A = this chain, B = another copy of it.
């Protein structure tokens, strides 16, 4: 069997070393002769594990002490609801920056709970790019400003953190959390579904500044009330213990690699390799402006849909999985999250060269 590389946009590949450890100890965790998924979340060993996991995550992302870290259920889409429930509480209005499908979906969900303004931040000419934004003045009228710094469908990433003055900035980092260093202090709240860079689907991390906790609307479900979950160590109900355990292994794995700084260098190297190949090819095209090209999701296309379909089918047969682009855009998408080794990108490029040679008109 050829080595397989999985370019799925999410649930995405996990570090192989993490899966191997999970496999090895699946029936006997910590010498307990029982699985980690069979033990009480309030037991000593489980509590020690999650305490260490929080420390590791704080270290990885340099998270200041005045931020709480919550491990919740419901995915990013759960937070699409939980965020207005918890934060839309003073001015009664929030601003959502629309940079693509996910930020637009977040705004739509938030409208169930309050008054949401939306600004389109993309402009399309030769390439797709993010407009220069001047938000400091208008931000003052809102309880928070929300954006999604990496849009997986288009492969657009926003590297400059929007300046919204003292208004809390809220970011959906589901698809780029822990992929590069960021200054947490510039954010009021960061959230992420796990299934791209953190662990398996089914657990959601929320990093929230303490002063934003405690003013949830009365009809906020307990499991999403940041004050309730913060007081109970994210255990107001039984947490997704196995997913949490896998996140803890991913954190240790990333620390062993050298932390987020080292991970960022690897991610830049992988993305550069692929974008450079795309740019010198006249056969494939990426349509995103260089300044906004995602490190995580690289979209590309050939001249026509038929050829794209052929590309995906042949790549799959060669062990390069899940390269089909999102149905909204068509074409191809290579998701190269933290766990994708550079060998996967190299194998993809080798295949792309071969496919180009065989199919160039």
- A residues sitting closer than 8 Å to B (CB atoms) are 1, 4, 6, 8-14, 16, 19-20, 22-23, 26-27, 32-35, 37-41, 43, 73-78, 80-82, 109, 112-113, 193, 195, 200-203, 218-223, 236-243, 319, 321-322
Residues of B within 8 A of A238 (CB): 10-11, 75, 193, 195, 201
Residues of B within 8 A of A220 (CB): 112
Q: Which 5 A-B pairs have the closest CB atoms?
A: A202-B240, A81-B221, A77-B237, A4-B33, A37-B200
- Report whether A27 and B23 are in contact in the complex, using a CB–CB cutoff of 8 Å: yes
- Report whether A23 and B26 are in contact in the complex, using a CB–CB cutoff of 8 Å: yes
Residues of B within 8 A of A77 (CB): 221-223, 236-237
Q: How far does the alpha carbon of A16 sit from the alpha carbon of B238 in the complex, in Å? A: 22
Residues of B within 8 A of A8 (CB): 38-40
Our pick among B16, B38, B202, B321 for the contact of A73 (Cβ within 8 Å) is B202
Q: How far does the alpha carbon of A184 sit from the alpha carbon of B319 in the complex, in Å? A: 45
Which of A73, A195, A322 has the most chain B CB atoms inside 10 A of its CB? Answer: A73
Our pick among B14, B74, B81, B221 for the contact of A35 (Cβ within 8 Å) is B14
Number of copies: 2
Residues of B within 8 A of A13 (CB): 34, 38
New A-B pairs, 12, CB < 8 Å, besides A193-B237, A200-B242: A11-B38, A23-B23, A26-B26, A73-B202, A75-B223, A77-B236, A82-B221, A195-B241, A201-B240, A201-B241, A201-B242, A202-B243
- Report whether B218 and A112 are in contact in the complex, using a CB–CB cutoff of 8 Å: yes
What is the minimal beta-carbon distance from A20 to any residue of chain B, in angstroms? 7
What is the minimal beta-carbon distance from A28 to any residue of chain B, in angstroms? 9
What is the minimal beta-carbon distance from A240 to any residue of chain B, in angstroms? 3
Q: How far does the alpha carbon of A319 sit from the alpha carbon of B31 in the complex, in Å? A: 12
Residues of B within 8 A of A193 (CB): 237-238
Residues of B within 8 A of A14 (CB): 35, 37-38
Q: How far does the alpha carbon of A43 sit from the alpha carbon of B334 in the complex, in Å? A: 16
Residues of B within 8 A of A243 (CB): 202, 240, 242-243
- Report whether A74 and B73 are in contact in the complex, using a CB–CB cutoff of 8 Å: yes
* Given A195-B238, A203-B202, A322-B40: A20 in contact with B27 (beta carbons within 8 A): yes
10 contacts between A and B (CB under 8 A): A11-B39, A11-B41, A11-B241, A19-B27, A73-B75, A74-B223, A77-B222, A78-B223, A201-B238, A201-B242
Residues of B within 8 A of A239 (CB): 201-202
